[in-house]
Chains A and B, each alone.
Chain A
Amino acid sequence: MSTTGHTATAGQRATGAVAPRTGSPDQPVLRVDWPDCRARGLCAELVPENIVLDEWGYPLVTGPVTRRALRHAREAVTSCPHQALRLIEPVRR
């Protein structure tokens, strides 16, 4: 696991589930607030299971968050220097 974050290709992205923009998902999912994101890259270091960096240093969310990665996903959310990452959890009906 590279702690510096690694860049991704579009192919990697195509295999991951891409979450819709709004609405409640079935599994917890990470969403980026794009106007706030400044490509600092901490998220890719903290939750590499779900985030890799593209060629411009911006996060690519590669799929829903599994139970094992949930703790790391939460840490990534609190660690973002610009509060640009959110964890959207399923609404239990």
Chain B
Amino acid sequence: MTSPLLWYVNRGSGVVLLLVLTLTTVLGILSTSRRFSALWPRFVTQGLHRSVAGTAAVLLVAHATSAVVDTYVDIRWWQALVPFGATYKPLYLSLGTLALDLIGVIIVTSVMRDRIPTRTWRAVHVLSYLTFGVAVVHGVGIGTDAGQRWSVLLTLACVGLVALATLARLGIGLRAAAEGSRA
């Protein structure tokens, strides 16, 4: 079946996912900070990170489902779960599938966090950086609006935000390491 609605849902959810994943990643990175105030207590950043990640998961399901259900473009259900064997734009679709798989593992390990070793959880969670990059490339490669000026600006802004947050995190990490060695 096909309809313009499915098409708009798929494209729309894709664009919003870029924003939501950017927000999730930035919030996750900022959760490592020790800064807090009366207006922004310590638990807020982490709490938002989890809620926004949940929103991303829902959007992701809508995005993948609409892509599979819409017969206008030939995307079979297994191609949404396994990153090879695709026929429509195989490289960029596979990257999307890869991002979906990674997000799935990241979320599952986080839900089970108290039952798995901390180093396992951390190793998987660090894949978020890779996941974000993969998702962005997927969008740039397969997105039908990718050439549009607004889309390019939006993508650059999102990547920029994540890059900025990552640099800030490195700063925190280096500072902590220096303090640790000074003690």
Contact = CB atoms under 8 A, between A and B. Distances in A.
A83 interface: yes
Chain B contact-residue range equals 10 to 19
Interface in A20-79: 40-42, 45-46, 77-79
Interface string B41-63: 11100110000000000000000
Interface of A: 2-5, 40-42, 45-46, 77-79, 81-83
Contact of B38 (A3, A40, A77): A3
Closest 8 CB pairs of A and B: A3-B41, A42-B43, A42-B42, A45-B41, A45-B43, A41-B42, A46-B43, A45-B42
B114 A83 contact: yes
Main secondary structure of the interface of A (DSSP, over half): loop
B36 A41 contact: yes
A81 B122 CA distance: 11
A2 B32 CA distance: 22
A83 B110 CA distance: 12
Contacts of A40: 34, 42
A46 B43 CA distance: 7
Given A42-B43, A42-B46, A45-B43, A81 B31 contact: yes
Q: In this complex, which of B31, B34, B41, B43 has the most chain A Cβ atoms within 10 angstroms of its Cβ?
A: B43
A4 B46 contact: no
Contact of A4 (B37, B113, B118): B37
Given A4-B38, A41-B36, A79 B114 contact: no
Nearest to B118: A83
